[in-house]
Structure 1
Amino acid sequence: MRVLVIHNFYRSENASGENLSVLDEIEGLRNRNWDVEVLSADSDVITDGDVPLADLAIRPIYSRRSVRRVRESIRRFRPHVALVENLFPLHSPWVVKTLHEAQVPVAAGVRSYRMLCAKSTLYRDGAACRACLTSRWNLPAIRHGCYQSSPIKTAPMALSLALHRSTFASIDRYLAVSDYVRDELIDAGFDAERIVVRPNFVDDPGPPDSSPGDGFLFAGRLTEDKGVAPMLDGWVRSEVWRHQTLHVAGTGPLDELVREHADRGVVPLGLVPHEQILDVVRTAAVTVVPSTWPEPFGRGVIEAAARGRASLVSNGGGVASLVDDGVTGWTTEATPDGLADGFRRAADLEAQRRFGDAARRRFLERYTRDASIGVLDRELSVLATSGVGHD
């Protein structure tokens, strides 16, 4: 069967777990004998200045180019079903309307809160934010400049979300990346019967090394929402730095803060390519994900679990659902005191080994390619053969 995948790739300068997950699922579907055509847009063209500002202002609402490409694909490729991923800012939700006009059922991968929030995070100024969920035109987002810290850039995104509420509601299947995202969709009024939880996956690297890892690893953007500051504060308070190390891989606004802690067992690694970071994950005993925003998932947690490594994570958002506290890792409040306690508990060498083994077993049960692509294959097949159509 034929599936049309539509995705707006994030800028290459930003490490994107969503980009990696989309590429993984395309390969996974092809391995299951799906004929896959990909309509992609690349946000690098914005950075390069290849898209006029006037065009950027309208594309989140109606992208003439994407609509034309979808119509051409429908005529030539004749998809049985479509899978839409990130549609902003270059595709626009109008492609869903175009697909339904041609009686092509649509599934949507939901790996963020983009259908609900112009910033896609439900997080602002260091705290959870749901102000736009009760605003018809998403005016709080514009007022606060939630998209790229600019009211002007936010306005088209906010308007698109407002105008396309019915478009999002018409999608035939929502593939939520975690239980937490599913619950957020339901709370926002989406049809629970059309929501299926399908976690991301990573490929099985094979049995873990027999030798245990050493110390802790944080890998991600060095930003406020990733919990870098409370993590470093908690690390110092924990006193664990006196006998273990915390490697920090990534770059961002808090680079200097990380370097300031180099005398307290913190090892700055800078930006590490993804294919190399997996080797770093293997050498560490515990991966740390201290996010202060409600992350929808946590690819780093399952990458660690695949390699038999436990994780210490904040207890909010979808990332907390990936860790069974005291079994496959540790969950804690994303505060300095909470993380200090978490580091102390996670510093136990015997627990690191035992929880790492349990994390590996959990990975094999839930987060392998076969498990995740199996759900995607099943749901797309149901839609493709259901004769779903929309007026």
Structure 2
Amino acid sequence: MKVLVVHNRYRSEQPSGENNVVDAETALLAAGGVRVSLFERRSDDIAAMSLPRKALVPGRVPWNRAARAELTARLQVERPDVVHIHNTFPLLSPSVLAACADARVPVVATLHNYGMVCPPGTLYRDGRICTDCVGGAPVPAVKHGCYRGSAAATVPMAANLLLNRSRWRSSVTRFFCISDAQRRLLVDAGMPASRMTVKHNFVTDPGVRRVGDGAHVLFLGRLTEEKGVPLLMAAWDRLGGSLGLPLVIAGTGPLSDEVDAWAASRTDVSYVGLQDKAACQALTASAAAVVAPSAWLEAFGLVVVEAMAAGVPTVAPAHGAFPELISDGVTGLLHEPGSAVALADALRDVVADPERNRKMGEAARQRYDEDFTPEVGLRRLVEGYEAAIAAHRTA
């Protein structure tokens, strides 16, 4: 099988889970005997552009003729069995779909977020879940400046969504949703149910697993409001040091300074900043629990599966993809979304009984072995490609 992967890489200055997923899948396919090649653009390249070229970037978000022409040429030479599209913003655009249609090659697209119904792809605005644009025109997004807090910056994304909505729905042979929760929301918004399948992300076995009861509670991720950092701080303040374990916060983001100052004022919080992959794996494997208090509707929740792989239970809100990843009371605990009281209670509960905590960690690892290993990931990828090829041939 020959697969061409299409992806616009996010900026390297900020860790990107989507970039990591694309890299992991590409390596997995190659190791599994699939002939895989890449058609990429890098958002990092924008910084080196001349001012006139930079000025043209927003106008090419909905349609980039040069990207279409270049991909058309690649398809004529390589003739892949299937094209797998991940992200097209901002330097590729949905014009790549037209190139695939011209070449009559089936297209698989992974939906890593809610970009098909929300210009910034987050379904989050002003500290709350927002579905104002779902199922309709993205006018509210422009009005509220949902992308980078700017109406002007939001316009190209809103235009992209509006102008290319029907093209995505008619040109993609099969969509990969990364959770059933995401799939249900998008189908309700009008996406074609028959062509949307759930394919969870996989996680490579870290090679380290928890031994003992764990030395801390861990938050690992972007330090933003939507990731629930203010909620976690409020919940930890309520606990008042009663947990008997420190909180370790690893990551970076807009709230870094606030988190650093808060951690410095306490003896039971350690802010360690951005860590490399090995350090993150070690922190996870030494945790009594991983906390993922996201305020938005996570489409997946990679940190939860990474904790599973290390045999560590997770505490997370009962919304988005978390209820299908976490079996409440079995592999972790779910709490009422947005409630600092409920989060504090769940954190207290998850470490209160070491034996119960150990059993939850073992059950979490068993769930990982069943559903989230590279072997499972490769099988589901190839099955999805084969189904798309067969459907395209029939059509």
TM-score normalised according to structure 2 size = 0.94
* Partner Cα distance (1:284, 1:79) in 2: 44
* Partner Cα distance (2:31, 2:248) in 1: 36
Shift of 1:292: 0.2
Q: Does 1:81 align with 2:78?
A: no
| Residue in structure 1 matched with residue 351 of structure 2 by the alignment | 347
Q: Does 1:112 align with 2:116?
A: no
| Residue in structure 1 matched with residue 127 of structure 2 by the alignment | 126
In the alignment of these two chains, the number of paired residues is: 389
Shift of 1:240: 4.8
* Partner Cα distance (1:178, 1:380) in 2: 18
Q: Does 1:290 align with 2:293?
A: yes
Paired residue type of 2:107: V
Deviation digits for residues 24-83 of structure 1 (CA, Å, limit 9, x no counterpart):
111111122211111111111234445723321222111123212211111110111110
Deviation digits for residues 278-307 of structure 1 (CA, Å, limit 9, x no counterpart):
111111121110000001111111111101
Q: Which runs of 5+ in 1 are unaligned?
A: none
The residue matched to 1:4 in structure 2 has which SS?
A: strand
* Partner Cα distance (1:124, 1:389) in 2: 42
Q: Pick which of 264-273 and 40-49 moved more.
A: 40-49
Deviation digits for residues 112-139 of structure 1 (CA, Å, limit 9, x no counterpart):
0111111110111111111112433x11
Shift of 1:209: 4.3
| Residue in structure 1 matched with residue 31 of structure 2 by the alignment | 31
Q: Does 1:218 align with 2:219?
A: yes
Kindly tell me: are residues 195 and 240 of structure 1, through their superposed partners in 2, closer, same or farther at Cα, counting changes over 3 Å?
farther
* Partner Cα distance (1:49, 1:237) in 2: 49
| Residue in structure 2 matched with residue 155 of structure 1 by the alignment | 155
Contact 1:60-1:92 within 8 A present in 2 as well? yes
| Residue in structure 1 matched with residue 145 of structure 2 by the alignment | 145
* Partner Cα distance (2:390, 2:340) in 1: 52
* Partner Cα distance (2:143, 2:26) in 1: 38
| Residue in structure 1 matched with residue 283 of structure 2 by the alignment | 280
State the identity as a percent: 37
Shift of 1:277: 0.9
Paired residue type of 1:86: N
* Partner Cα distance (1:260, 1:218) in 2: 15
The residue matched to 1:116 in structure 2 has which SS?
A: coil
Kindly tell me: are residues 91 and 311 of structure 1, through their superposed partners in 2, closer, same or farther at Cα, counting changes over 3 Å?
same
Contact 1:240-1:347 within 8 A present in 2 as well? no
| Residue in structure 2 matched with residue 16 of structure 1 by the alignment | 16
The residue matched to 1:87 in structure 2 has which SS?
A: coil
Kindly tell me: are residues 338 and 79 of structure 1, through their superposed partners in 2, closer, same or farther at Cα, counting changes over 3 Å?
same
The residue matched to 1:41 in structure 2 has which SS?
A: strand
Q: Which runs of 5+ in 2 are unaligned?
A: none
Q: Pick which of 89-98 and 155-164 moved more.
A: 89-98
Contact 2:210-2:312 within 8 A present in 1 as well? no
Paired residue type of 2:83: A
C-alpha RMSD over aligned residues:
1.7
Contact 1:104-1:389 within 8 A present in 2 as well? no
Write the mapping of 1:229-240 to structure 2, written as runs, cut at 5 A: 229-240=230-241
**4+ long deviations beyond 6 Å:** none
Kindly tell me: are residues 225 and 50 of structure 1, through their superposed partners in 2, closer, same or farther at Cα, counting changes over 3 Å?
farther
* Partner Cα distance (1:64, 1:199) in 2: 33
Contact 2:68-2:98 within 8 A present in 1 as well? no
Shift of 1:208: 2.5
Paired residue type of 1:371: V
Shift of 1:164: 0.4
Contact 1:105-1:389 within 8 A present in 2 as well? no
